[in-house]
Amino acid sequence: MMEPVKRIVVESSRPIHGRIQYDYLKMGWNLSVIVLAFIFAPVTFSVNAFLLFLFTTYFTLLVGHSVGMHRMMIHRTFKANIYVRRVLIYIGVLVGMSGPFGIIRIHDIRDWAQRKAVCHDFFSHKSSFFRDLWWQLTCKFEFDEPPKIEIEPSLQNDKFLIFCEKTWRFHQLIIAIIFYYLGGWDFVVWGVFVRVSLSIVGHWTITYFCHNPGPGRWNVKNSAVQASNIKGLGLITYGECWHNNHHAFPESAKIGLEKGQWDPAWWFIKAMSKVNLIYDVKLTREEGKRDDLVDVS
């Protein structure tokens, strides 16, 4: 049986009891970049700015979020020395969703809630799409009895990651200055506001559909949420769309497990492994340790 990485050291005895409340700092950040993108993107469009947007969005989400934050930092599916680890996580910070510790807390509480027998709609994404998107962009869940998360010392005590956690929003200003120097306001709008907006909204869109009923080989026993695989989106989601596989095998650096399940983040991980930038890359556990799963294929 495979347990996800354990960071929740004190569990809430009432995991669905609480209330959804506005998180005004979260709301201010997310809605500001979205509104600015909506206003200024049409009047600053250029081919070069659009190409910059495509490249920086794909690069930061694949290398930073999927590889660095999700598969390495959160699930520890491979190891890297401190400098490679910092670079990967920092690229994830540049996505503009949260700092490293904030990402861990968001992910681990949601994952913990989804693996309970019952799960609040805020974490299970069972409400309507636009309602759920509004919640995720503007709100937080206040537990009556909140779980306690303890992040491992190798991350929690890393001074660079502490700095990133405190300052993650301001790193977009550094990018904006560089892009303004390279291409003016067109590059700033498309390389910062449009990129961050699409990264945030796109991330939660895929999260929503991956946690609603759909195709998938595996059911996780006693879990309220059974994730799905979304066919045809492997390339544009870096392999994260094969989420039924991921819920079954969170220990695996490879998420696209079946033939035709393209997984660009896994390709990147393999490439880094071949040049010895990372090591101890983990794959799915053997069949004898899958008693928590039901094969429904």
Give per-residue pLDDT as tens, 53-72.
999 999 999 999 999 999 99
Q: What is the pLDDT of residue 6?
A: 78
Tokens of 51: 């190409």
User: Which region holds residue 125: left if phi is over 0, alpha if psi is between -120 and 50, else beta?
Assistant: left
pLDDT at residue 110 tops 90? yes
Average pLDDT of every residue of the chain: 95
Do residues 133 and 205 touch, judged by C-beta distance below 8 A?
yes
Percent of the chain with pLDDT over 70: 98
More confident residue, 214 or 29: 29
Per-residue pLDDT tens over the stretch 33-54: 999 999 999 999 999 999 999 9
| Residue 43 neighbours by CB distance under 10 Å | 9
Tokens of 108: 């681990």
Q: What is the pLDDT of residue 4?
A: 64
pLDDT at residue 11 tops 90? no
Do residues 191 and 33 touch, judged by C-beta distance below 8 A?
no
pLDDT at residue 2 tops 70? no
pLDDT at residue 9 tops 80? no
Per-residue pLDDT tens over the stretch 116-173: 999 999 999 999 999 999 999 999 999 998 899 999 999 999 999 999 999 999 999 9
pLDDT at residue 288 tops 90? no
Rg (CA), the chain: 19
For helices 195-210 and 47-59, the axis angle rounded to 10 degrees is 50
**Confidence band, pLDDT 50/70/90 cuts, at residue 10:** confident
Tokens of 245: 């596989």
pLDDT at residue 182 tops 80? yes
Per-residue pLDDT tens over the stretch 163-177: 999 999 999 999 999
pLDDT at residue 14 tops 90? no
Distance of alpha carbon 105 from alpha carbon 141, whole angstroms: 12
Residue range 212-226: average pLDDT? 93
How distant, in Å, are the alpha carbons of 7, 49, 104, 151, 153 from that of 101?
A: 12, 31, 5, 8, 12
Do residues 228 and 210 touch, judged by C-beta distance below 8 A?
yes
Q: What is the pLDDT of residue 240?
A: 97
Residue range 80-104: average pLDDT? 98
pLDDT at residue 5 tops 90? no
**Which long-range contacts does 14-17 make (Cβ < 8 Å, 24+ apart)?**
14/143, 14/144, 14/145, 15/112, 15/113, 15/116, 15/118, 15/119, 15/120, 15/143, 15/147, 16/113, 16/116, 16/118, 16/119, 16/120, 17/143, 17/144, 17/145
Per-residue pLDDT tens over the stretch 190-208: 999 999 999 999 999 999 9
Do residues 208 and 114 touch, judged by C-beta distance below 8 A?
no
What pTM was estimated for this model as a whole? 0.95
Do residues 111 and 123 touch, judged by C-beta distance below 8 A?
no
Q: Which residue has the tokens 């080989």?
A: 217
Q: Which residue has the tokens 């306001």?
A: 185
Distance of alpha carbon 194 from alpha carbon 49, whole angstroms: 10
Residue 295: HSE in the Cβ half-sphere, 13 Å Cα cutoff: 4
pLDDT at residue 294 tops 60? yes
pLDDT at residue 269 tops 90? yes
> How many residues make up the chain in this entry?
297
Closest CA to 101 of 125, 74, 123, 127: 74
Residue range 83-109: average pLDDT? 97
